[in-house]
Structure 1
Amino acid sequence: MKQILVMDDEKDIRAFITINLKRAGYRVIEAGTGEEALDIISNNNDIDIAVLDVMLPGIDGFEVCKKIREKNKAMGIIMLTAKTQEVDKINGLTTGADDYVVKPFSPSELVARIDALSRRVDLIKENASTKELLSPPFRMDLTERMLYKNGEPVELTKIEYLIMKLFIENGNKALSRNFILDEVWGENYFGNEKTVDVNIRRLRQKIEDQPSDPIFIETVWGYGYRWRRED
């Protein structure tokens, strides 16, 4: 049974989320502040997914997400936000979140997103037995979950890591945005294709010599992207 951390400063919302997650078969730990959430995580190695409210006094959800990612690249993270501006969604993704849910939300929507994220977490664990993938000048160490370019480590978020793995496994194939969305975020993900584009832009910033003129991640206009490999 997977364990989920729910962080929200409103007790009624935490209780609402907790009840529905327990009904769905998850174990739940609650935190009312960012400080409390970080303390719980530092003392508990069994948390699979964190559900983090963005707007909190003190340490907010973005900062908690960032601190989690500094130490744990495998934990699933979903942001809860009352805002609908694109910049807030991008902030959540760029600090390492896997998904976001805008308040107010239905219990079924949140559970469906957690179920999809849970499967991705399982997939990462299953793939840990494979040692590496090669696409010169890149090497992916699947045990360490690290990407190397010319022998130098490239720091990736969990989503960026999964996108890179999908690309290298499908070298020189045109992958549609919807295919990438389904393979990386899961078929039950409620987001749209812009989520793929946002993460591709950030990934290019990390792996391309000239992100504005990419040579590894090619855009297939009107369709998606292609990983160029010549090995």
Structure 2
Amino acid sequence: MQIKHIFSLIIFTLFLIGCTHKTPYTNRDQMILISTEQELALGEQSYEKTLKESKVIKNTKDALRVKNIGEKIAKVTKKNYKWEFNLIENKAKNAFCLPGGKVVVYTGILKIAKNDSQLATVISHEIAHALARHGAERVSAGMLSQGVQVIGNIVLGSQAPQYTKTFNIAYGVGAQYGVLMPYGRMQESEADEIGIYLMHKAGYDLKEAVKFWENMSKGKKENFEFFSTHPNSENRIKNIKKIISKLN
């Protein structure tokens, strides 16, 4: 069997193995090459490290708001994760969720989220990442990308070794901007969509989701979307309005 046929067979086999998952609500086919157990273990390790290296705020009004809103949204997911919601002192306007439902909200985001529904927008978006197993999907995409590069090097090493360096440079740039970044933008948009559905089920005001992202975009200088893992604010807000219109 020729090398190019072996290459095609490997890619096709990985595709068949990985594409057995679907995202909730959006029902998109996913390629996931790691087990749920591996994913949860990675999430737990990262979460413990984050808490140890950060100042976790406990039992304040804001900390309890984060916990209560998070638990209310987690309840409607009907997902049996060991959900945790922590507020961490950090000026960054950010939040994240690790596999298994470990949600961290930075205090900086509270200046943007003006009410409970706006804070629910953030938390539901992060919960959506966990539900859709976006972390495992990113790891799988990285594994596949590295695997393709290794195979490419093997093929070139045996047939045209003088082009190996050029291939690696071109492949790195192509994978970053042509695959991984667009993949990241897709996941962010999907988390927005799933998050809106979760907010709706939990009884929060969907109009506040638009206001939250408008708040986030104020005074923000953005690069071209092509060079980012996130959709730009204008496109993001347009897409969210479309999703909300379907639910009203």
TM tier, smaller: 0.3 to 0.5
Which has the greater radius of gyration? 2
Report the TM-score, using the length of structure 2 for normalisation: 0.32
Report the TM-score, using the length of structure 1 for normalisation: 0.34
Q: Which has the higher contact order (CA 8 A, sep 6+)?
A: 2
Q: Which has the higher helix share?
A: 2
Q: Which has the higher strand share?
A: 1
